Amino acid sequence: MKQNIFILLLLIPFLWNCGGDSEETEVPNNQPLELPLLEFNTFNERISYCIGLDHAHGCYLAYNSQNTKGKFDNDQIKKGMVDYLNDNELRIPLTSIDSLLNLYLLENGQVDETAVSKADASYAIGMSEGQFLVGSLVGRGIDQTVEVWFLVEGVRDGMSTQKPSVPYNEATVEVKKYYDEINLDMGESFLAANASADSVETTESGLQYKIIQEGNGIRPNLTDTCVVHYTGRFIDGRTFESTIPSKIPAELTPLGVIQGWQEGLQMMREGSQYRFFIPYQLGYGEEQNGPIPAYSVLVYDIELIKVKKFN
C-alpha cells in the first residue's frame, strides 16, 4: 500500500508505519477496560493477534499524537481497518482513498471538514492502514497462515483502551523476532536460487549483480560524485524508493552509501546499467532503517549517468 503523502507529512516524526516501539508518544489518559483476555491454543493464533495489536496500537498512538489530536475519529479508523481485514462491505471505494484524503488533509497540517467529514476521512485512513498491513503480510509470504479472527481482535484491542491479551511491549518484541526470522530465511533462499540464474555474477563479498547495459566511460573512486538514477525494491517486487518518478537523478559518493552500493558503483562505468542483489550484511543489517526491515535483501537497478571526479 502506498501511503498518502499528506498522511506522511502529518505523522512526521512518528513511525514509518504504525507498528513498532512508540513509548515516547503521548496518548489519551483513559483507563484500560477490564475484559476477559483471549486464550491462544497455537503459535499462529498468538502471533496473528500480536501482529494486529502491534500495528493498530502504533496507529492509535500516531493518530492521537499532539500533531494529529482531534483530527481523526478512532472508532472510524478502527472500523475501516476491521472492515477491510474482514472483507466486509466497504463504505468508501478503495479507489477513492487518495482523492478523499487529499481533500481532507491540507499541506499546512490542518484538515478541511467542509470538504470531507472527519468520519469519512478516518474510515478511509483505517482502510489504508488495513491495506498496508495486508501488503506486509503478503510480502512476507504469511498471508495464508495468519489467523484472521485473531489478527482482527488484535486490531480492535490496539485501537482502543481495552487491556490487551498480550502486553504491548511483549507483542512488539514477538512480532519483530518473527519478522526478522522470516526476512532472514526468505533472503537466504532468494540469494541461493538467484546465484544460479542466467547472467548473475557473485563477488567475493556475496554481492550479486547482473549487467543490463555496459557503459564505456570512467569508473568512480570512493570519493568521486556519482550521478545516478535508481530504483530500490524488496525481493517480493515492492518498490521502496526511486528517482525515476521525479526524473531528477541523485548525486552521491560511494563513500557515503551502504557497502553493497560502494562495491557496486566502483564496478560500473559511466553509461552502465546494473542490477544489484544486496545481502543484508552489505545493506542495512540487522536493524530496521525507515521502510526497510531488518535482515532485508535489497534489489537495486542503478544507472550510472556521470562521474564527477574528486579534486
Architecture of the domain whose range is 198-308: Roll (3.10)
pLDDT at 30 (0 to 100):
56
pLDDT at 23 (0 to 100):
42
pLDDT at 39 (0 to 100):
93
- Ramachandran region, residue 252 (left: φ > 0; alpha: ψ -120 to 50; beta: rest): beta
**Is the distance from CB of 27 to CB of 64 less than 8 angstroms?**
yes
What whole-number distance in Å separates Cα of residue 118 and Cα of residue 80? Answer: 13
Q: Structural domain boundaries of the chain?
A: 5-184, 198-308
Q: How does pLDDT run across 57-67, given as a tens digit for each residue?
A: 999 999 999 88
Q: How does pLDDT run across 145-166, given as a tens digit for each residue?
A: 999 999 999 999 999 988 999 9
What whole-number distance in Å separates Cα of residue 271 and Cα of residue 94? Answer: 41
Closest CA to 68 of 17, 26, 127: 26
Which of the residues in the chain have pLDDT under 50? 1-17, 21-27
pLDDT at 69 (0 to 100):
86
pLDDT at 5 (0 to 100):
38
pLDDT at 37 (0 to 100):
86
With 0-12 / 13-18 / 19 or more C-beta atoms within 10 angstroms meaning exposed / middle / buried, residue 28 is exposed
